[in-house]
Copies of this chain bind each other. A is one copy, B any other.
Amino acid sequence: MSKSQPVSLPLAEEPVVPCCPPLTAGELSPADAEKVAVMFKALSDPVRVRLFSKIASHPGGEACVCDIADVGVSQPTVSHHLKKLRDAGLLTSQRRGTWVYYRVAPSVVAAMSALLAPRP
């Protein structure tokens, strides 16, 4: 009997569900501004930007921690930064066997891009 297990991968085309209106559409409420700031804060650190771009550009759109840890900081620091990206909703993670695999949450990233869309 095979030891392989079915793996549920997120759909490639998740709907874009924006948290908030575009920043150019009107004055944001304090509550919406908090949500937006948390998302952008996730990409406010150069190590997190590098980890995010490594995962986003990895073949299949998914990367194991073992694939991306060479960013010049310690493994605990890598884990700390990956947790911040995941907590902000930019990444999803899944443990499979020994390793944790990370994947970009395309709907969240598309929503961030839409926040910066020019005024219609």
Contact = CB atoms under 8 A, between A and B. Distances in A.
6 contacts: A24-B57, A27-B57, A28-B53, A36-B46, A109-B118, A113-B116
Q: Which 4 A-B pairs have the closest CB atoms?
A: A41-B44, A113-B116, A40-B43, A24-B56
A51 to B, nearest CB: 9
B37 A23 contact: no
Interface of A: 23-28, 30, 33-34, 36-37, 40-41, 43-50, 52-54, 56-57, 61, 72, 104, 106, 109-110, 112-114, 116-119
Contacts of A30: 46, 50, 72
Number of copies: 2
A109 to B, nearest CB: 5
A37 B33 contact: no
A77 to B, nearest CB: 15
